[in-house]
Amino acid sequence: MRVRILGKSPAWQDVDGACSGYLVEEDGYTLLLECGNGVFGKLRAHMDYVDLDACVISHCHADHTLDLVPYSYALSFAPRQQPVPVPPWPGTDTPARPRLHLPPGGEKVMRTVMTAWGMPALVEQAFASAEYDPEATLHLGPFEVRFRAVPHFVPAYAVEIVSTVTGGRFVYGSDCAPNEDLVEFASGADLFFVEATLPRPERAGPRGHLTAAEAGEAVRRAGVARAVLTHISDEEDPVVALERATETAGGIPVEIAVADALYEL
Ligand SMILES: [Zn+2]
Ligand SMILES: [Zn+2]
């Protein structure tokens, strides 16, 4: 299994960066985990967007879903997706329609956003769209995909992707406050992407994100093989964030997410 970081920014993009987007590949099957703002262009740098097999979304915040909009426009209006020839494209009766797996309630969210923009069904018609059952396992090509609810400002799900080819196990924590469920869910993973959004804990209201030290703590307690801090701004000092996470990670190797980085497991 190969996991490539297309975008790792938090809710505002890094310079020349993208928000959440991770491309997971095995045996020619491609799965896009998250499609935040900026991700569609980054995806196009690595593959032809009509060849994507599936997209999985952990929660319906803009920085995890916004590029479903340009992606849907491409699938709907690109010359090669049309039923008649549009030179140099020959026309097709079977336009690409990747599978889109949204969290419960996600179709309504996308429809609400797109209604405000005048095309309510754009996303659900462009993709083969469905909402997943977080209690069930999704079987997507060579991958088994499982979910675990984590505390955030909207319903959000950590995602586990297991390769049925190699047995490699990748866990992505989505956006979340400190919580026990994530530690249990990620336990023993080969690769763990954990958010480290905050330079310090939220000072008021409910918690919804982790600091680097809290991310390191989750890494240590989950006993994973390798961890990557993600959802982190280029405005934070990566050396300081890494130091804070390393102090609490109990000797488990931790890295900071970098756009284009590729992990094999
Ligand atoms: Zn979020
Ligand atoms: Zn986010």
Q: Domain locations in the chain? A: 2-264
Q: How far apart (Å, rounded) are the C-alpha atoms in residues 191 and 265?
A: 8
The pLDDT of residue 69? 98
The CATH number of the domain covering residues in 2-264: 3.60.15.10
Along the 265 residues of the chain, how does pLDDT read in single tens digits?
Answer: 999 999 999 999 999 999 999 999 999 999 999 999 999 999 999 999 999 999 999 999 999 999 999 999 999 999 999 999 999 999 999 999 999 999 999 999 999 999 999 999 999 999 999 999 999 999 999 999 999 999 999 999 999 999 999 999 999 999 999 999 999 999 999 999 999 999 998 888 899 999 999 999 999 999 999 999 999 999 999 999 999 999 999 999 999 999 999 999 9
Q: Counting ligands in written order, which one lies closest to the CA of residue 208?
A: 1
Per-residue exposure over 101-127, b if at least 16 CB sit within 10 Å of its own CB, e if not:
bbbeebbebbbebbeeeebeebbbebb
Give me ligand 1 centre to Cα 154, in Å.
Answer: 7
pTM over 0.85: yes
Residue type, 64: H
State residue 202's pLDDT score.
Answer: 84
Q: What is the bridge-based pairing of β-strands 169-172 and 128-131? A: unpaired
The alpha carbon of 153 and the centre of ligand 1 are apart by a number of angstroms equal to 7
Say if CB 59 and CB 154 are below 8 A apart.
Answer: yes
Residue recorded with tokens 């026309």: 91
Q: Which of 96, 56, 92 is CA-nearest to residue 75? A: 96
| Residues 229 and 240 sit within 8 Å (Cβ to Cβ) | no
Distance from the CA of 25 to the center of ligand 2, in angstroms?
22
Tokens at residue 25, please? Answer: 């590949």
- Which residues lie at CB < 5 A from ion ligand 1? 61, 175
Q: Residue 217 Cα, ligand 1 centroid: separation in angstroms?
A: 20
Q: What is the DSSP string of 192-223?
A: EEEE--BSS--SSS-----BHHHHHHHHHHHT
CA 169 – ligand 2 centroid, Å: 22
User: Which pair of structure tokens corresponds to residue 98?
Assistant: 């990747």
pLDDT at residue 205, as a whole number: 87
The answer to whether the bond into 95 is cis (omega within 30° of 0) is no
Q: How far is the CA of 178 from the centre of ligand 2 (A)?
A: 15
Helix axes 106-116, 68-77, angle to 10 degrees: 70
